[in-house]
């Protein structure tokens, strides 16, 4: 899934995607203990996907930097 596709999904879907990806990572960790993984690069990619999704969710929570700048300008100008 690309970052653009992730940004288009609602937050609830992203939360579900994180859970599915965490389950895959968990299973891969146990597979790696017993035998070699078929694609060890997939483990790293899944962890990065989780980080990307968390970043998107975090961006949605935080107010935009522009909103912060305008509110501080107004507060500073009234003093």
CA nearest to 23, candidates 48, 46, 54? 46
Whole-model pTM: value is 0.70
* Structural class in CATH, domain 3-64: mainly alpha
Query: Length of the chain, please?
Result: 79
CA 26-10-57 angle, to 5 degrees, is 60
In whole angstroms, what is the distance from residue 69 CA to residue 67 CA? 5
- 62, containing H or E segment: none
Segment 6-62, tens digit of pLDDT: 899 999 999 999 999 999 999 888 877 777 777 878 989 999 999 999 999 999 998
CA nearest to 50, candidates 76, 24, 74? 24
Q: What does the domain layout of the chain look like in residue ranges?
A: 3-64
Segment 52-79, tens digit of pLDDT: 999 999 999 987 776 666 656 665 555 4
């Amino acid at each position: 899934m690309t970052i653009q596709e992730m940004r288009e999904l609602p937050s609830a879907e992203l939360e579900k995607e994180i859970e599915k990806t965490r389950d895959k990572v968990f299973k891969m960790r146990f597979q790696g203990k017993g035998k070699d993984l078929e694609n060890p690069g997939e483990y790293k990619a899944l962890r990065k996907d989780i980080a990307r999704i968390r970043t998107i969710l975090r961006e949605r929570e935080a107010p935009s930097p522009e909103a912060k700048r305008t509110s501080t300008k107004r507060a500073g100008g009234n003093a």
